[in-house]
Amino acid sequence: MKAPRLTDTTLRDGSHAMRHQFTREQVKNVAQALDKAGVPVLEVTHGDGLAGSSIQYGFSLTDEMDLIEEARNAVTNARIAALLLPGIGTRKELKEAVSRGIQVVRIATQCTEADISQQHFGMAKEMGLEAVGFLMMSHMRPPEFLAEQALLMESYGADCVYIVDSAGALLPDGASSRVRALKEALKIQVGFHAHNNLGLGVGNTLAAVEAGADQVDGTLRGLGAGAGNTATELIVAALDRLGYEHEWDVFALLDAAEFVVAPFMPFQPIPDRDSIAIGYAGVYSTFLLHAKRLGKQYNVDPVEILVELGRRKTMAGQEDWILDVTLELAKQKNKG
């Protein structure tokens, strides 16, 4: 059995946990370690993609274009990818990212909004990039609906479409059924991106692989939003034990996680009380840090904030609702 292609997104999804404070030296060291271990694709941008550095999403310590260039110069074999969210990143940022060295762009929309990505896939193909579609918050819609959205991305020029469990809310059967639906509907490859809010990052990724996923994601030490992502070193070890054919160096990845990434991590993402609430409520993993900060400021339990956001089916891009919900809950608490 051939293993799926692995994209390590430590230097993008990990940016959330780092509060977007990656340094050039950190990016260089991580990129070199991953390249040496045989990881074929590394994603490097602000956590919210190209042009994500902003008052709404958090300012980066180092310009993301400089980080992309640093990663590109650090690798010999790995390809560099960037994330682009329509409405945040534009042609200008994508063009500069290409000049700095990206070869892959991953275009992310809410799982109900694939139709807004047409021009972005067109731009990507014009620039000679591999174009990957991301259907975020995929737990919110059934497999058949997601297959229809994926078909739109395929028609726009996507080379692969991912089921993205942004909230870490899927169970293994939900991951496998969604991947299977896309495999049956599409002629292109299918990928899976997991978060670990219910402690199922590795389990869901393995379920996706068993269902036919051609590409999967991970981050070293699980560094990422919420309770983090599927840990790269864990998923490669598991796939190796299962007998999948691959070109990774499992022990080099263990070393990269332990000796390169762990020393600069501000904390180890785990499924704690708050992040489990994210998976349970089904809200975007990046909401956690906002809920913690506002909860502390207004004396409101972050879990209450997250559950209420889930009840309202809040999506990425609606971060302003977090403050609104917090203020409403604080007002109710004061009345009580």
CATH number for the domain spanning 315: value is 1.10.8.60
pLDDT for 288? 81
Give the pTM.
0.93
Whether residue 260 is found in the same domain as residue 291: no
Whether residue 305 is found in the same domain as residue 163: no
pLDDT tens for the chain, 336 residues long, are 999 999 999 999 999 999 999 999 999 999 999 999 999 999 999 999 999 999 878 899 999 999 999 999 999 999 999 999 999 999 999 999 999 999 999 999 999 999 999 999 999 999 999 999 999 999 999 999 999 999 999 999 999 999 999 999 999 999 999 999 999 999 999 999 999 999 999 999 999 999 999 999 999 999 999 899 999 999 999 999 999 999 999 999 999 999 999 999 999 999 998 889 889 989 887 788 888 899 999 999 999 999 999 888 887 667 788 999 999 999 888 876
272 domain residue, yes or no? no
275 domain residue, yes or no? no
CA distance 71 to 140: 34
Whether residue 228 is found in the same domain as residue 325: no
Number of domains in the chain: 2
Radius of gyration over alpha carbons of the chain, in Å? Answer: 19
Nearest to 136 by CA among 155, 156, 117, 159: 117
Three-state DSSP at 243 gives coil
Range of the domain at 26: 5-264
Whether residue 104 is found in the same domain as residue 21: yes
**Residues that are catalytic:** 16
Q: With contact defined as beta carbons under 8 Å apart, do 307 and 280 qualify?
A: yes
Whether residue 120 is found in the same domain as residue 160: yes
DSSP letters along 64-102, please? HHHHHHHHHHH-SSPEEEEEE-BTTB-HHHHHHHHHHT-
Q: With contact defined as beta carbons under 8 Å apart, do 102 and 80 qualify?
A: yes
pLDDT for 181? 98
CA distance 143 to 191: 14
Nearest to 215 by CA among 159, 172, 278, 260: 159
Whether residue 75 is found in the same domain as residue 158: yes
CA distance 246 to 1: 9
281 domain residue, yes or no? no
Whether residue 230 is found in the same domain as residue 324: no
47 domain residue, yes or no? yes
Whether residue 50 is found in the same domain as residue 132: yes
Whether residue 206 is found in the same domain as residue 300: no
Of 264, 298, 313, the domain-final residue: 264
Whether residue 253 is found in the same domain as residue 294: no
